[in-house]
Amino acid sequence: MTDVSRCPPLTRQSVVEAHARIRPYIHRTPVATCETINQVASTPQAERCPHTGPNTAAEPAPHEHGVTGDAAGCIARPRVKLFFKCENQQRIGAFKARGAFHALGRLIEQDGLDNVKRKGVVTHSSGNHAQALALAAKTHGIPAHIVMPTISTPSKIAGTKSHGADVIFSGSTSVERGAVVAEVMGKTGATLVPPYDHPDIILGQGTQALELEEQVEGLLEVEPGLGVPGRKRLDAVIAPIGGGGMLSGICTALLGTGIRVFGAEPRFEGADDAEEGLRQGKRVESVKTLTIADGLRTPVGEIPWSIISDKEKLAGIYSVTEEQIKAALRLAMERAKLFIEPSAAVPLAVVLYNEEFRKLVEQEAGEEGWNVGIILSGGNTTMEAIAKLFEVPTKAAERAEGKVTVDGDRIAENVAG
């Protein structure tokens, strides 16, 4: 990978240059809006109709009292208009294509294409970065070795292989995969392209913020009613944080624009390491969680941490429960018709259900409200994964007792019908 000391500075201008570098290889993904979700988000949780949350009796209501312990919770009334940046429609189905194409482009500029082709590249990733590097490498005719945990989603393994990459399996701890990566590097001389903790990756991921900013201004010029009254641009952007490559890239891209940047993460089993790190004033270095937001199970990297822990650059991080992620995922799919992976639903879940965030928006945005950009980071999930998340539990139990068929039809009804 390009030597960090020779990388461009982490500035908005460098993101602009990164965008010019990768533009031929990536999609300018669309920006979507959904009036129904705007209305739900702008209604206090306590007043919402039951159809805007999980609609099976078995699932608990996703809202909860503010983390401040406010007993009268769930009453914040932020006014928001949401703009969804559809990186689920990016190449390989996730924003990671941006960082991979940028990092590889910079490596080629520095070492020359022939050298990079001879040595190849290597990375470790359980999913989207693996596919992204495989695609970028194939595009330039460079061999790619991808170390993936054996427990990776089969569709992500298949996607990585479909781009011609050499997939090598490892255990899922960082020590296990590090050993396999070192072995590949020793054998082939391949250059490591890390998934998030590198300036070239960060600058590449930041490019989506430039597009989003410009696209929202374009939309509001044509149709002002899509936004809050009197505002012609974004007021805030909220993005998921796992390793932090994307969030720190977005902070870098938007610094000085007046657009606030927020991070969103799952809370399950300590996945809220970034929020916890900010509280402690110190990066949390390891995380062990099986949150359904599988792209966000990693601790924040060192370089991303140096950016997001700067209050000038990041306005705050908020976390949500697994049920809240599922409820946001449901709304994005059923109402906005956007097919996304659970990690991509986390920022929407914060906007809909995190009472602390909602109070902040209500206070800062006031009567007028905010135009909020929401990064839908990816769409790489499978029908089976969705089936597992949303199966009606009572059906499974009844089936075990022989009361329903495997198709879920009630046997008694079939007899009667």
Q: Find the shortest distance in angstroms from Cβ 323 to a second copy.
A: 13
Token pair for 247: 């969030």
Output 61 or 389, the one with its CB closest to a second copy: 389
Question: Contacting a second copy (CB under 8 A), which of 4, 23, 46, 56?
Answer: 56
Residues 34-53 that bind a second copy (CB under 8 A): 49, 51
Q: Which residues pair with 317 in a beta bridge?
A: 263
On whether the CB atoms of residues 201 and 99 are closer than 8 A, the answer is yes
Residues 128-187 that bind a second copy (CB under 8 A): 154-155, 158, 162
How far, in whole angstroms, is CA 253 from its chain's centroid?
17
Note whether 55 binds a second copy by CB under 8 A: yes
Question: Contacting a second copy (CB under 8 A), which of 7, 18, 37, 86?
Answer: 86
Name the residue with tokens 């011609």.
164
Distance CA 234, CA 227 (A): 9
User: First-to-last CA distance in the chain?
Assistant: 66
Residue 250 DSSP one-character state? H
Q: Could you list the beta-strand ranges (E) of 116-251.
A: 121-124, 144-149, 166-170, 191-192, 236-240
Question: Contacting a second copy (CB under 8 A), which of 66, 73, 93, 263?
Answer: 93
Q: Find the shortest distance in angstroms from Cβ 90 to a second copy.
A: 9
Q: Find the shortest distance in angstroms from Cβ 172 to a second copy.
A: 10
Note whether 411 binds a second copy by CB under 8 A: no
Distance CA 306, CA 286 (A): 16
Catalytic residues: 96, 126
Question: Contacting a second copy (CB under 8 A), which of 16, 61, 185, 389?
Answer: 389
Q: What is the dihedral of CA 375, 377, 379, 381, to 10 degrees?
A: -130
Output 309 or 324, the one with its CB closest to a second copy: 324
Q: Find the shortest distance in angstroms from Cβ 50 to a second copy.
A: 9
On whether the CB atoms of residues 117 and 143 are closer than 8 A, the answer is yes
On whether the CB atoms of residues 245 and 304 are closer than 8 A, the answer is yes
Note whether 223 binds a second copy by CB under 8 A: no
On whether the CB atoms of residues 138 and 144 are closer than 8 A, the answer is yes
Binding mask 332-371 for a second copy (x = CB under 8 A): -xxx-xxxx-------------------------------
Stretch that binds a second copy, among 16-24, 86-94, 106-114, 252-260 (CB under 8 A): 86-94
- In total, the chain counts a number of residues equal to 417
Q: Which residues bind a second copy (CB under 8 A)?
A: 30, 32, 49, 51, 55-56, 86, 88-89, 93, 154-155, 158, 162, 329-330, 333-335, 337-340, 379, 381-384, 386-393, 395-397, 399-400, 402, 406-408
